[in-house]
Structure 1
Amino acid sequence: MRKKTQQSYITRTVNVVNYIQQNLDNELTLAELAQQANFSSYHFHRIFSGMLGESVKELIRRLRLERAAIELRTSTTSILDIALGAGYESDMAFSKAFKARAGLLPSKFRKSEQARFPCLSLSSIRYVTNEHISSFEPFIDKELNMKVMIKQVDDMLVAYVSHQGPYKECGHAWDTLCGTLAPMGLLGGNAKMIGVSYDDPDVVAPELLRYEACISVDEIFSTTDEIGFKSIASGRYAVTTHIGSYETLNETYQKFFGQWLSQSDHESADQPCFEIYLNDPESTEPEELITDIYLPLKELNHG
């Protein structure tokens, strides 16, 4: 079953790559691409970039340069027009980017019969003139050693404070939440410190990132307008542990989705992950912080 699941991920990712090639000159949204792959919009980019070893933006930029290399060889189109077609504002910017990839300026590449545009894709995906590929070799991190458990989680009622902006600046939300709950004696016992991160910082602008600082509670109570209440949904979750600074959490997310998930028998549900912080950042060195990451799963159709 695992092999069948892996092939499903590859097939759906191929659909996205072909859609990108067919619309290489258009502005494509992540929601639009997620729909092409039938992946959760919350998690699409992490799955995609993990399997290919490059982000959507990096893939588009590279495919445009590869197309430009073909145009340099097979047409008499001016370098400026090719540069504009590749999404660059000037031939100078294009030439700099092209040389960084090919080792030659576009003008010299056009004149050289021996020069080849190198394949710099970890998954060996290249621009194809017929705009269609049938498969690819997913990028595999051979050093991946991720321990993952599947857990059944019950509904959790939490009090929360919302934050919008860089994740590293969410401290004010925690100050407000803890400052309110501490005098009520609600921080001890079985209370869990939970973070809900809605957006991937690799693709969402820092000022638009959405986060909720949460603490589990037994019941709703009267409090300030800044604090809300919600339930974190019950269900099956894949859980892995991140040890280290919160600033490197995204690296673990990328491996979790792009490497482990795509090689597992599971698929992510269309809801955000959450994190449970197991020690106190105020009294713990950053490299010793322990965070459990909960990835929501949906049932696969094995029929």
Structure 2
Amino acid sequence: MPDLDHEQRALINKVLDYIESHLDQPLTLEKLAKISTYSPSHFHRLFAERMGETPADYVKRQRLEKAAHDLIYEPKLSVTEIALRCGFSSLSYFATAFTERYSHSPRAWREGTYLEKFPRRYLHGKKSKQNSRNEQETDADKSYTRFQWVDLSKVRTEVYPEALTVLNHRFGAYTEQLEAAWERIYRWAEARDFIAPDTRLLGVPRNNPYLTPMDKCRYDCCIALPEGANVGSDAETAVIQGGKFVVYEFEEPIAYSRRDLLIECYSELYSFWLPRSGYRYLGNPVERVRITPKAGTLDLDCRITAITLPIDPK
């Protein structure tokens, strides 16, 4: 993606965050341009340069991706309710747009065609009668043993405080160039004495790679700031909400190049643990990260020590 200057990137990212948290509301070009402080025409050009798609196309894609996710993981909500909370005022338009994007109707997707993209069925998801009958016949006398990657004895819940962070964004595959993205913000914070032994390093994957094109996936490299830190206008800041999280910590921290291992763990937490836990997910996962200098070099070793999901009682 073309690189805008610092101020332009920060303002476009502000708009991206606004879109993500207001998908159920009208998101006109004029409204988004006002948030960016640019004129509609200038904002439209900068946004397209930064994101590789127009604001309208981006908003539509975000709405469809959220709907695709909610149709799987929010089985208590009707298709109409999901369409409305994702910003579609017309159910017929939602059905047409969804089918065009995912080659299946919202109802068919919910009943199991999402498995063409996802590795595992959501345990409490809607199912076709035939699939439900087959599973009952197969699993009627078996205990639940489908966890292959997650050790349930290591799954716990914790409460984390809200964190003001400085961050650096990376668009692209979650296995590529993330060390470089971490290095830029880590060295910036280190030079200002913002790094301490207990500093929280948090990676936030903002998209589901099963639903979002790889080049559109966004990852935020975040460093929690000490109280009273003066950032000024040198770096972008964002607040990571606190609250209750389910936590799965790895015995050996995982390199970003082994994203396949994380995907397997995420899949089992979402598909198997979550529906039987009494909780529902609230938003983007947050990955705890460890960064250590590589001996004799200027390089940093960046690894994920745990994955966490924000949760709330159902």
TM range (shorter): 0.5 to 0.7
**CA distance in structure 1 between the partners assigned to 2:275 and 2:167 by the alignment:** 32
**CA distance in structure 1 between the partners assigned to 2:122 and 2:277 by the alignment:** 20
Offset of 1:289 from its aligned partner?
4.9
**CA distance in structure 2 between the partners assigned to 1:210 and 1:59 by the alignment:** 19
| Matching residue of 2:116 | 58
For residue 141 of structure 1, the aligned residue among 137, 141, 146 is: 146
| 1:279-298 map, 5 Å | 280=292, 282=294, 289=303, 291-298=305-312
Residue 177 (1) aligns with residue 215 (2): no
Q: CA RMSD in A?
A: 4.0
Q: Give CA deviations for 1:136-170 in whole Å, capped at 9, x if unaligned.
A: 55995154523211111111111111111112222
**CA distance in structure 2 between the partners assigned to 1:184 and 1:55 by the alignment:** 50
Residue 165 (1) aligns with residue 172 (2): yes
For residue 210 of structure 1, the aligned residue among 193, 218, 226 is: 218
**CA distance in structure 2 between the partners assigned to 1:184 and 1:122 by the alignment:** 45
**CA distance in structure 2 between the partners assigned to 1:272 and 1:122 by the alignment:** 18
For residue 286 of structure 2, the aligned residue among 261, 274, 295 is: 274
**Measured at CA, do residues 281 and 29 of structure 1 come closer, stay the same or move farther in structure 2, by a change above 3 Å?**
farther
Question: Which deviates more from structure 2 when the two are superposed, residues 130-139 or residues 170-179?
Answer: 130-139
| Matching residue of 1:262 | 275
| Matching residue of 1:31 | 66
For residue 151 of structure 1, the aligned residue among 158, 163, 177 is: 158
SS for the counterpart of 1:201 is: coil
**CA distance in structure 2 between the partners assigned to 1:166 and 1:197 by the alignment:** 10
- Counterpart contact for 1:281–1:289, Cα < 8 Å: no
Corresponding letter in the other structure for 2:74: F
**CA distance in structure 2 between the partners assigned to 1:276 and 1:55 by the alignment:** 33
TM-score w.r.t. length of structure 1: 0.53
For residue 201 of structure 1, the aligned residue among 205, 209, 231 is: 209
Residue 237 (1) aligns with residue 245 (2): yes
Q: Which fold has the larger relative contact order, with Cα–Cα distance below 8 Å and residues 6 or more apart in sequence?
A: 1
**Measured at CA, do residues 232 and 135 of structure 1 come closer, stay the same or move farther in structure 2, by a change above 3 Å?**
farther
Offset of 1:32 from its aligned partner?
3.2
Offset of 1:292 from its aligned partner?
1.4
**Measured at CA, do residues 184 and 220 of structure 1 come closer, stay the same or move farther in structure 2, by a change above 3 Å?**
closer
- Counterpart contact for 1:158–1:214, Cα < 8 Å: yes
Offset of 1:249 from its aligned partner?
1.7
**CA distance in structure 1 between the partners assigned to 2:171 and 2:279 by the alignment:** 31
Corresponding letter in the other structure for 2:230: F
- Counterpart contact for 1:140–1:259, Cα < 8 Å: no
For the pair shown, the structure with the greater C-alpha radius of gyration is 1
- Counterpart contact for 2:72–2:122, Cα < 8 Å: no
Gaps of 5+ in 2: 1-62, 76-81, 83-109, 296-301
Percent identity among equivalent residues? Answer: 17
**CA distance in structure 2 between the partners assigned to 1:183 and 1:264 by the alignment:** 43
Corresponding letter in the other structure for 1:221: N
Offset of 1:222 from its aligned partner?
3.5
TM-score w.r.t. length of structure 2: 0.51
**Measured at CA, do residues 251 and 281 of structure 1 come closer, stay the same or move farther in structure 2, by a change above 3 Å?**
farther
**CA distance in structure 1 between the partners assigned to 2:196 and 2:272 by the alignment:** 36
- Counterpart contact for 2:122–2:272, Cα < 8 Å: no
Corresponding letter in the other structure for 2:305: T
**Measured at CA, do residues 190 and 122 of structure 1 come closer, stay the same or move farther in structure 2, by a change above 3 Å?**
closer
Offset of 1:295 from its aligned partner?
0.6
Residue 249 (1) aligns with residue 262 (2): yes
SS for the counterpart of 2:292 is: coil
Corresponding letter in the other structure for 2:159: Q
| Matching residue of 1:221 | 230
Aligned length: 194
